[in-house]
Amino acid sequence: MTRSRYLTLIEGDLAEHMDGSLWVVKGCVHPPGGYVALPRVVESRKTKRYSESVEVVRRYYAHYVTYLAELGREVPVVPADDLIGTRRWMIEGRRGLSEPHGELLRLFEEVGLECGIAGSHLGGYSRPESDVDVHCLDSPGAYERIADLHSSGELQRVDFSDIVREVIDVAELLDVGVHVRLMASKLLQGRYRGRRITIRVVNCERVGEVLGPYVSTTPVDMVVRVTESDYRTPVIMGAEVVRASTPAIRKVRLLSHRLRFAEIPVGTMLDVVGYLRVNALG
């Protein structure tokens, strides 16, 4: 483990807290001296759902909650001085790997992708049934290369049992029926030599267009139709508004850090409840 205060961490990296908890770094915006992160393992208990992580923060780490103007909301920010080490998927997630992890990364390397092992296998809390989380740096043609690995048979689609398990374990926000249909068509979730894998393609270079400070923030309840899909994390989708509680909205950009919102096909209808934030770019 490496002292984190001397490092820059990115989406999916893990940070070890001085109290023994393990946190996962989220997003592309971090204030000086700290990291936006969510607790992943606390007192040997893994939090599977976002709502569980938020509850842990509310109960034990409320003093970390900080308002960030770039995000327009409060988020948990873990001070670097409270961290005793890190596990980075582009460094520790590429070293000394047992099989099939090393073999899987070599497969991605052969098609020109820079990837590392993340999640429970990086953090040391995996179980025999745990997914293998693979994080990759985005590059031109990255999604097409992942599609080619499926077409060649190196990667296989998830089966029905995988879909059921996903929906039972971590389904939030998406309608169950929609979630099931989307998972059946995803390329970022699949299987390799019988092991279930989840792929995140990380790209922080384009998020500036949707960040604050915001000139207005309005609660909104709307139905939208997806016009631009996205395979990357963070997910930034384009959508046209079909119906909204706030009038005069025609087009929006939808931002999410959850993989379930990646690869949503163009034309998909979504119910969106949240906040409409407008920055200087409109």
* pLDDT higher than 70, residue 171: no
For the chain, the C-alpha Rg in angstroms (whole number) is 19
Global pTM value? 0.89
**pLDDT tens-digit map of 268-278:** 999 999 899 99
CA nearest to 22, candidates 87, 93, 115: 87
**pLDDT tens-digit map of 98-146:** 878 999 999 999 999 999 999 999 999 998 888 999 999 999 999 999 9
Looking at residue 40, what is its pLDDT? 97
Whole-number percent of the chain with pLDDT over 70: 91
- Count the neighbouring beta carbons within 10 Å of the beta carbon of residue 117: 24
- Count the neighbouring beta carbons within 10 Å of the beta carbon of residue 168: 9
Tokens of 21: 């908890």
In angstroms, how far is CA 90 from the centroid of its own chain? 16
